[in-house]
Structure 1
Amino acid sequence: MSIYQHFRPEEREFIDQVLEWKRIVTDTYVAKLTDFLDPRLQQIVHLIIGDSTDVHCHFFGGVDNAERKRALIYPEYHIVDHNDFQVTIFEVEYPKKFVTIEHREVLGSLMSLGLKREKFGDILFEGDRIQIIIATEINSYLRLQLASIGRAKISLKEIPTNEVLKIENKWTEEAATVSSMRLDTIISALYNVSRQKSQILIEQGLVKVNFATSLKTSFECHEFDMISVRGYGRTKITSIEGKTKKEKWRIIVGKQK
């Protein structure tokens, strides 16, 4: 039985990467630290390595309930410490009385520096406070290069993990019945919009599945998929319960408040 049959074809390249990481750790007995992974990629790592007897994995993103986390793949004798994950947390200091900074501006400024998205973890907001979680290896570069966000001049202050803002992930669970597991059908049912409207949202690039933009209206959704629609919020398919007598799918979903 091939391991690939449990995943989508477009995930095969990452699966091969995880298998290679596992082989290297097995052969060298040296831990492997990844970049920041989104929840779907974390799930793939866990599914491939989680039940292994000689190699294990652990995730950390700088704060409890972090969405994006680094994975540490390590031999069984290794004792995991948070320092292994090489995570740095910056507080953004800026003239709060005069300017407002939005999440998209922070991410846009970070990406404009030519660094991979995988080098950044969560971007945290609480009132006018902003914190950025990054891979420690880009610490010095970021300090030198990030001097402004939007129109605001900023500076970065490194803070300890006990000063990081708390993340509250609030989800509500509900049941739904859909005629198919197509992406346009799922969006229509979960967000209470017409099928035509859901197709337009997809074609305009406003829909992501597992943190990647999906432009296919016929994309087949699976259990555990995270669906986000710009302006409508995020939903995850927590379970597929089976079919009704009328051949419709019963699903349980979580919606983020």
Structure 2
Amino acid sequence: MNWMNIADQDEKHFLKMVIEYNEKASRQYRMLSTPFYNRDWMEEVLNRYHLLTQLESYTFLGGYEYAERQVLAFGYEETYMECPIRASKITVKTGIGKPLSHRDFLGALLGLGIKRETIGDIIPTDFGAYVIVQEEMSDFIGTYLTGIGRYQKITVEEITFEEMQIESPKTKAVTGTVPSLRVDAIFALAFGVSRSEVVKLLEQERGKVNGMSVRGSQLMKVGDTGTLRGYGKMRLSAINGYTKKERMHLTIEKFI
């Protein structure tokens, strides 16, 4: 690995950690896991530097099937090792009949001095939220999290992943044609905004593909996931053919 060719410090730090943990887990016969990252971002970085095929024994863990934030664990054997992440159920009595937001829970957790990298997905619910955290943070949260904002009537309990009742994400199919697989063209189709507006938002770093900030001129491929802050999330599902003018027929999965 030529580290001089990697300008992004987050990518460099992650790759060095992956190489170190992969080697240690294999040599010392123990399990090691990274902090939480966006799963798409991790895979994009590992594939870009051709590292994924070099790893010996690894698995992504996020607590449930659709987890966005996950850890990368090395040497993890589910049959006899404790999972390095935990699930907490936070019940909040607000008295207002309105669920609290992701921001409410994240703010309360960070207010305890917890680092963001130790927190996985936060899934708001009617009763409060499910929170995925690194193993060592579970007891800490259960002891010291005594309120969410101004709401002090809360309970925190560790539960199994099987006890989490999380619905599959709802999506709808968006179809149309684009002149190319450029990010700005696909985002414009997916989110129903003009390409010029998409370009402005991307320049403000409000759009990402596979967890990475992108330019409008970059290309997407089938399976890529994109987000545009304020507009939502999408996945490029299929290229269904071409028109007579060589425009591509696309199917896009938009999360709702």
Aligned residue number for residue 108 of structure 1: 107
Q: Residue 108 and residue 46 in structure 1: after superposition, are their counterparts in 2 closer, same or farther (change >3 A)?
A: same
CA–CA distance in 2 between the matches of 1:254 and 1:147?
39
The CA deviation at 1:132 is: 1.2
Q: Provide the residue aligned with 1:189 in structure 2.
A: 189
Q: Which residue pairs with 1:148 in the alignment?
A: 147
Residue 43 of structure 1: aligned partner? 43
Task: Identify the residue that residue 123 of structure 1 maps to in structure 2.
Answer: 122
Q: CA deviation at 1:56?
A: 1.7
2:135 matched to 1:136?
yes
- For 1:220 and 1:198, how far apart are their aligned partners in 2? 13
Q: Distance in 2 between matches of 1:33 and 1:231?
A: 32
Give the corresponding residue for 1:87. 85
Q: What SS class does the counterpart of residue 147 from structure 1 fall into? A: coil
Following TM superposition, by how much is the alpha carbon of 1:129 offset from its aligned partner in structure 2, in angstroms?
3.7
> Take 1:165 and 1:35, find their aligned partners in 2: how far apart are those partners?
24
Once the two structures are TM-superposed, the CA of residue 182 in structure 1 deviates from its matched residue by 3.7
Query: Could you tell me which amino acid in structure 2 is paired with residue 86 of structure 1?
Result: P
In 2, the alpha carbon distance for the partners of 1:209 and 1:46 equals 15
Residues 31 and 236 of structure 1: CA distance in aligned 2, closer, same or farther (over 3 Å): same
Asked whether the 8 Å contact 1:208–1:227 carries over to 2, the reply is yes
Deviations 1:155-177 (A, max 9, x none): 42222333212231233445543
**3-state DSSP class of the match of 1:197?**
helix
TM-score, length-normalised on structure 1?
0.76
Q: 1:28 to 1:157 in 2, by over 3 A?
A: closer
Instruction: State yes or no: 1:69 paired with 2:70.
Output: yes
Q: Distance in 1 between matches of 2:157 and 2:69?
A: 21
Determine helix, strand or coil for the equivalent of 1:122. Answer: strand
Identity of aligned residues (%): 26
Give the drift of 1:151.
Answer: 2.1
CA distance in 2, matches of 1:165, 1:87: 17
Query: Among residues 188, 209, 220, which one is paired with 1:222 in the alignment?
Result: 220
Amino acid at match of 2:169: N
Unmatched tracts of structure 2, length 5 or more? none
Match of 1:157 in 2: 157
**TM-score (norm. length: structure 2):** 0.76
Q: Aligned partners of 2:123 and 2:179: how far apart in 1?
A: 38
In structure 2, relative to structure 1, the CA distance for the partners of 1:99 and 1:252 (3 Å cut) is closer
Counterpart Cα distance in 2 of 1:116 and 1:242? 46
Report how many aligned residue pairs link the two structures.
247
C-alpha offsets along residues 24-46 of structure 1, whole Å, 9 cap, x if unaligned?
Answer: 33333333222223221453587
Separation in 1, partners of 2:230, 2:41: 24
Paired residue type of 1:59: F
Deviates more, 1:96-105 or 1:42-51: 42-51
Once the two structures are superposed, what CA deviation does each residue of 1:142-164 show, in whole Å capped at 9, x if it has no partner? Answer: 23443222221134222233321
Contact map agreement 2:198 2:216 (CA 8 A) in 1: no
- Equivalent position SS for 2:22: helix
